[in-house]
Structure 1
Amino acid sequence: MSVSEHTVRDHLKPVFAKPATNDRRVLLARARARALGT
């Protein structure tokens, strides 16, 4: 089974839209900070 790049991007759009970023590193840093309660 394979998934096209377009499909992946389409599914990631809402993930990046809510925290207002398109940078995965920033999103990951925010998620880690939130998980740690900072």
Structure 2
Amino acid sequence: MLFLITIIKQKRLFHTHSWKMSIFLIYGYEMSIAMSP
């Protein structure tokens, strides 16, 4: 969640496409952690 908060705070610094890509990267990162043993 901390990463999401950081991205939201910096949202104005990103173009729409880059911001969406960042969300996908974070989602994948969190999923990889959730799948870790």
TM-score for the superposition, normalised by structure 2 = 0.44
Higher helix share: 2
Instruction: Give TM-score, length-normalised by structure 1.
Output: 0.43
Larger-Rg structure:
1
With CA pairs under 8 Å and 6+ residues apart, which has the higher RCO, 1 or 2?
2
